[in-house]
Amino acid sequence: MASGEWYELRVVGSVGTAAGSTAGVGIAVGENGRLCSLTLGCARRFESKQQAMDFLSTIRVSGDYQFQAVLCGSRVAA
């Protein structure tokens, strides 16, 4: 992974996911392990896609959500 890049866990359908919108709307796993709006800038950052996916097994989220690890950073359009 290049410097300045990281991964975020986003709810499928959020901006940056394969099924996501381009309107900038989105929800991610926050620093506290709860869901947060991408506009708040509090999404938890992971060094690798695997690290992000492994984190999913350590949290509980109410509701039926699916997540996708999304590459973010200076060279990637989020």
Pairwise pLDDT comparison (73 vs 22), residue with the higher score? 73
**Tens of pLDDT, residues 8-47:** 999 999 988 888 776 767 999 999 999 999 999 999 999 9
- 41-44: long-range contacts, CB 8 A cutoff, minimum separation 24: 43/8, 43/9, 43/10, 44/8, 44/9
SS3 55: helix
Residue 70 contacts residue 1 (beta carbons within 8 Å): no
**Which letter does DSSP use for residue 61 in this model?**
-
Strand 5-11, strand 35-37: pairing: unpaired
Residue 78 binned pLDDT confidence (cut-offs 50, 70, 90):
very low
Q: How far apart are CA 45 and CA 74, in angstroms?
A: 14
pLDDT band, very low/low/confident/very high, at 1 (cuts 50, 70, 90): low
The predicted pLDDT at position 35 comes to 95
